[in-house]
Amino acid sequence: MVRRMKKGQISLEFIFIFVLFIILLTFSIRNITFSSEHSSDMLRIQISEEAKLFANTVSNAISQVYAQGPGAKTTEYFTFKYLNDEYFLTRAFDMDGTPQILIGYKNGTYVAILDNANQTINVNETETKKKNYFWSQSLYARDLSDNSSIYYPNNTIANYAGMFVNATDLPSTLKIVVEWNPDRNESWIINSTAQELRINLNVGG
């Protein structure tokens, strides 16, 4: 009789422990899923902030040269942490293809984060999850978004022309050289090997 009670007690304890284990496992899975989604949201915000900061850095350099006039030249350096990382970009923006970056100018520098499997630019998007276009105004008021010939390497996506590179081709630190040489044509050239972006303004040219 005592032996049967002990066996019954052991069975009940086993069932209790098993049920408790299942509850904890379910909670852990839900928590991991929530953390993963939360991490993707935070990562997207950090990437967006870096894209905006990069656009702002280029626009500020252009504004400085434009304000100083012909012959002016300035150099800036920008360090990438997210925009050149394929894993971060594909995770944050739920990409199916290769992350690509379009950099151009329309009264200010714009940066578009693209998926080569779905090259869509959401220009006026306000929702963080869909926003992939970041713009920073400059003193140099000129629309260069329709002139692909000044950019190298170039592409035009949804009527927006610009320098077009795979995200992984961006160096960890990019040297940005902006000058106003009236004897040269307007040009935007990014050289991944030299880790350099060169921009020449030809105001009125």
Write the pLDDT tens digit of every residue in 146-197: 999 999 999 999 999 999 999 999 999 999 999 999 999 999 999 999 999 9
Q: The pTM is what?
A: 0.81
Quick one: average pLDDT of 21-42? 56
Tell me what the pLDDT averaged over the chain comes to.
87
Please check the confidence at residue 33 and state whether its pLDDT lies above 60.
Answer: no
Asked if the structure places residue 18 within a domain, the reply is no
Asked if the structure places residue 40 within a domain, the reply is no
**pLDDT of res. 18:** 65
Beta pairing, strands 154-157 & 160-166: antiparallel
Quick one: average pLDDT of 10-34? 57
Asked if the structure places residue 20 within a domain, the reply is no
**Type of residue numbered 131:** K
pLDDT tens-digit series, residues 120-160 = 999 887 776 789 999 999 999 999 999 999 999 999 999 99
**pLDDT of res. 38:** 46
pLDDT tens-digit series, residues 41-87 = 899 999 999 999 999 999 999 999 999 999 999 999 999 999 999 99
Asked if the structure places residue 177 within a domain, the reply is yes
Domains identified in the chain, total number: 1
Alpha-carbon gap, residue 201 to 186, rounded angstroms = 5
Alpha-carbon gap, residue 88 to 124, rounded angstroms = 23
Q: Which domain holds residue 55?
A: 45-201
Q: Which of 187, 69, 189 is nearest to 139 (CA)?
A: 69
Asked if the structure places residue 26 within a domain, the reply is no
For residue 109, list its beta bridge partners: 105, 136
For residue 54, list its beta bridge partners: none
Asked if the structure places residue 106 within a domain, the reply is yes
Please check the confidence at residue 36 and state whether its pLDDT lies above 50.
Answer: no
**pLDDT of res. 130:** 80
Quick one: average pLDDT of 17-33? 56
Find out whether 68 and 104 touch, Cβ atoms under 8 Å: no
Asked if the structure places residue 6 within a domain, the reply is no
Asked if the structure places residue 19 within a domain, the reply is no
